[in-house]
Amino acid sequence: MADLGEDDEYLEFDDHIHININNRNHIRDLSKILAPVDGFILTGALGLLYFILNSRQHVDVSISPLVIYLLLLTSVFMIGSIVSSIQSVTVKTQKPILTKIQYMDDLHDVYMDEYDWALLSVRLLIFGIVAFIAAMISFSWNYLTT
């Protein structure tokens, strides 16, 4: 660990509070981005699933069940990501606060909860994108080989 130089000084409580507030704002900005992306991919997966199932009723089309399962899995991941994204920005009730240290601890706890939900949302989004790409590859392969 580096020693403090003559011009360097420790962060004060207000600096820590400001950092935690900025971190929470970053989580909220991330969640504003995640929800629409999740919605677009969910709409694409469900739309493709609808057209595949609808076309099977009218035309004798052989679609691999793997495509349908991957599209359903994509939809589940996207719904989970949307719920996690919304949960990361819900208003948390705070305990009665008397000191700056209590405020900083409470603010940090709320930030960590938001961070955990946002991280889960991002992971589910990534898994959903991978499942959607796998569904598209499987669908294309099925289409080209039949």
Best CA proximity match to 107, nearest among 34, 33, 19? 19
Q: What is the pLDDT of residue 123?
A: 97
Q: Which band of pLDDT confidence, cut at 50, 70 and 90, is reported for residue 115?
A: very high
User: Per the domain annotation, does 108 fall within a domain?
Assistant: yes
Enumerate residues 6+ apart whose C-beta is below 8 A from 131.
Answer: 70, 71, 73, 74, 77
User: Per the domain annotation, does 1 fall within a domain?
Assistant: no
User: Per the domain annotation, does 69 fall within a domain?
Assistant: yes
Total number of domains in the chain: 1
Per the structure block, which two tokens stand in for 2?
């580096």
User: Per the domain annotation, does 21 fall within a domain?
Assistant: yes
Q: Which helix (H) or strand (E) holds 132?
A: helix 100-145
Q: What is the pLDDT of residue 72?
A: 96
Q: What is the pLDDT of residue 135?
A: 94
Q: What is the pLDDT of residue 59?
A: 61
User: Per the domain annotation, does 2 fall within a domain?
Assistant: no
| Domain containing residue 39 | 13-145
Average pLDDT on 5-32 reads 82
How far is residue 56's CA from residue 137's CA, in Å, rounded to a whole number?
19
Greater pLDDT, 4 or 28 = 28
User: Per the domain annotation, does 5 fall within a domain?
Assistant: no
CA of 68: how far to CAs of 23, 31, 73, 129, in Å? 39, 28, 9, 15
User: Per the domain annotation, does 3 fall within a domain?
Assistant: no
Q: For 7-21, 28-42, 74-88, 102-116, which range has the lowest pLDDT when averaged over its residues?
A: 7-21
User: Per the domain annotation, does 7 fall within a domain?
Assistant: no
| Residue 18, CB-side half-sphere exposure with 13 Å CA sphere | 5
Q: What is the pLDDT of residue 2?
A: 57
Q: pLDDT tens for residues 55-73?
A: 766 666 677 889 999 999 9
Q: Which band of pLDDT confidence, cut at 50, 70 and 90, is reported for residue 5?
A: low
